[in-house]
Structure 1
Amino acid sequence: MDHDTPLSARPPRPLDTVRRRVLTTRQLREYGVGGAEAADRCRPGGPWQQLLPGVFLLHPGPPTGEERLHAALLYTAHRPQGVPSQSRRAGSAAGPGPYGEAMVTGLAALALRRFAAAPPLLSLDRIGVLVPRTRRLRSTGFVQVVRAVELPGPQEVTGVPVAPVPRALADAVTRLQEPVAVRRLLTEAVRGSHCEAGAAVRELARARLLTRPHVVDAVDSLLAEGRAIAEAALYAMVRGHGLPEPVWNVELRTAGGPSLGGVDAYWPEQAVAVEIDVRSPCAEADADAVRRDRARRRELLERLGITVVHLSPSRLREAPAEQAAVVRTALIAAEDRDPAAYVVVLPR
């Protein structure tokens, strides 16, 4: 059997109808172009060129950044047959897209999101593409294959499937040795509201990058940045939605007893405390222990008659009115509770 024979008995479509000038061997067959003819057109001085194994560029000039991206995704594309893949995390997008499960990651993904700290697409030597660990696929040319046991749900940016920012950051940092570059990427991610500091740190921990001193230093700055942004959002929420002014950043103690810990805002008359849920890398390394400690502390405070409201940075940023309503409800409900035990309030 001639392997260059078109797969369909239908008459081939004309190539001048192709919108994107990057096609695979299989796609070319649908246009009536067999492997031998494609190879002939890619001869020196010919009208085409082969960018990657099985992937052709239908013009002789340098590929654009978009063409390199699509070539990388076509090279790594794989559409599983039968049942949907079980390798995605819970809650991710269902079903593979036109490139199968492959998605752009690392610096290329951040460049697509217009990170100022990421180099332009055309200047990247490698384009990272995230695929399932079980794929038998090698890095080649300008494609860096990145494997994952569990794929995140891709997000579409300019029509291209892209890994979420925390995962793209981790894959970029894996290949960066320059401390300044790492710090700039992480800082821009948080300042630009691309992701929460905690989400970025979780992904860095999952990639086992928190053993690298320059990454740990950058993470310390990142968490400080994330907390400062979250605190500013809390201030804006309280003052922008007419809540009474609390005392800010205080430590609570029982009279003559041990510390009850610090809170980000406290209303002494109503005995209502607000904590922003910004976690450290150490906390993420033992999430179960952190949850247990938090539950014990919350139970202790509530036994003393203090209501504790936990707010996440993302909800403060995305839904401040809703979070203000939660705090206001807690303040109003305090009127119907028994008076709280006396606690000492100290600056933190």
Structure 2
Amino acid sequence: MTQNTPLSPLSPRLPRPPHHLQDVTHRVLSAAQLRARGVSAAQTSAQCLPGGPWQHLLPGVYLLHPGPPSGQERLHGALLYAGRPPVSSRRTVPAPADAGFGEAMVTGRAALALHGFATVPDLGALHRVDVLVPRTRRLRSTRFVEVVRATAALPVPVRLAGVPVAPVERALADAVAGLGDAEDVSRLLTEAVRAGRSEPAAVVRELSAAKLLGRPAVAGAVEALLAAGRAVAEERLYAMVREHGLPEPLWNVELRLPGGPELGGVDAYWPDLAVAVELDTRAPRSGAPEEGRRGGNRGAGRAEDPQWSAYAARRDRLERLGVTVVHLTPRKLREAMDQQATVVRTALMAADDREPAAYLVVLPR
């Protein structure tokens, strides 16, 4: 029978049944891909008749076996549906043989499942696949596909399981947008930080851009997120000192002048060398520049941040008293711990070349 004959690029024959089709890219095809392989619209329709070997999965997307679609097949079909060219371009430009996902990418809970989140069901258990597309696309949500339009430029996707996936922060924001339970939101956000998949500042910034911070379910979860982020950053700081053989400091202490005002707290302090380390775990403000973002004046952005101004003033006071303050961010500790250990070691080694620091009282924080 024709449906048992393999498809060849040079022959309009039909693909084999599912037990011969191990790759999902051969089990789920768009109408354009079928046409490029020589399968006419009439042949496709005939295969999708009741009791036939194929089925119509989504508009313009076909499943080449009669059984229920797997999670991977639904995911692939959703991207083919959302990534097809607009009707206007399909009328003027023939679809290439490898027409596929276009600019579409998986986001929301399906993306988090691909990123490996334990608090999200696997793909087969999800009833919906969220797909992020450019804001100008005219495309409707349908069946199990929820179309999410970007409000600004699309993020750069990562490739997971062979498909384009939104970065963790964007996927979290799109997942949280559909949740109303504070515990569910908190579980997702804290896992992102505790599992080392993102930093609190980046998550909060994305939630702010999506205008989600005002939701009661999100506001409380963000407090838990920031607390978890600080705990993780402190653990990394402890690990850096231990694994790189740095001298053991005094941890989490307050500094003050004898009989004078408090100078503020630091995360680590070497009193004999007058070197302090402070972790920057501030919650980002809406519109604040992201660390490492191209363009813009970082100094100008920070000057408008009250938290940054207070930190800078405290750092200036300590350095006027002869204390070297090393500023570390959770992101730097996660991505370049060796480099940060070298920065701290250099500051400790340079202590002998500096003027003696003022005597400071050290108290537990």
- Residue 157 of structure 1: how far off its partner (Å): 1.0
Distance 2:288 2:111 in 1: 29
Residue number among 64, 79, 83 corresponding to 2:70 in the alignment? 64
Distance change in 2, residues 1:11/1:274 (3 Å): same
Q: Tell me if 1:261 matches 2:279.
A: no
Preserved CA contact (<8 Å) 1:107 1:172:
yes
| TM-score, length of structure 2 as denominator length | 0.81
- Residue 71 of structure 1: how far off its partner (Å): 0.5
Partner of 1:327: 344
SS of alignment partner, residue 155 of structure 2? coil
| TM-score, length of structure 1 as denominator length | 0.85
Distance change in 2, residues 1:279/1:46 (3 Å): same
Distance change in 2, residues 1:32/1:273 (3 Å): same
Distance 1:54 1:215 in 2: 37
The 5 A counterparts of 1:17-166 are: 19=23, 20-78=26-84, 99-148=101-150, 149-166=152-169
Residue number among 238, 242, 249 corresponding to 1:239 in the alignment? 242
Distance change in 2, residues 1:31/1:270 (3 Å): same
- Residue 165 of structure 1: how far off its partner (Å): 0.9
Preserved CA contact (<8 Å) 1:154 1:163:
yes
- Residue 293 of structure 1: how far off its partner (Å): 4.3
SS of alignment partner, residue 248 of structure 1? strand
Preserved CA contact (<8 Å) 2:79 2:100:
no
Partner of 2:364: 347
- Residue 337 of structure 1: how far off its partner (Å): 1.0
Preserved CA contact (<8 Å) 1:78 1:101:
no
Distance 1:54 1:79 in 2: 11
Q: How many residues align?
A: 322
Distance 1:257 1:151 in 2: 53
- Residue 166 of structure 1: how far off its partner (Å): 1.1
Structure 1 unpaired stretches of 5+: 1-9, 81-96
Residue number among 305, 330, 334 corresponding to 1:313 in the alignment? 330
Partner of 1:250: 253
SS of alignment partner, residue 15 of structure 2? helix
- Residue 151 of structure 1: how far off its partner (Å): 1.3
Q: What RMSD, in angstroms, separates the aligned Cα atoms of the two structures? A: 2.3
Distance 1:106 1:73 in 2: 13
Preserved CA contact (<8 Å) 1:255 1:343:
yes
Distance 1:312 1:286 in 2: 16
- Percent identity between matched residues is 62
Q: Tell me if 1:303 matches 2:309.
A: no
Distance 1:339 1:79 in 2: 69
- Residue 312 of structure 1: how far off its partner (Å): 2.1
Partner of 1:192: 195
Partner of 2:233: 230
Matched AA of 1:55:
V
- Residue 255 of structure 1: how far off its partner (Å): 4.4
Moved more, 52-61 or 114-123: 114-123
Partner of 1:275: 278
- Residue 263 of structure 1: how far off its partner (Å): 1.1
Distance 1:32 1:284 in 2: 52
Matched AA of 1:225:
A
Distance 1:57 1:34 in 2: 16
Matched AA of 2:108:
G
Preserved CA contact (<8 Å) 2:106 2:165:
yes
Preserved CA contact (<8 Å) 1:79 1:99:
no
- Residue 314 of structure 1: how far off its partner (Å): 3.1
Structure 2 unpaired stretches of 5+: 1-8, 87-98, 290-300
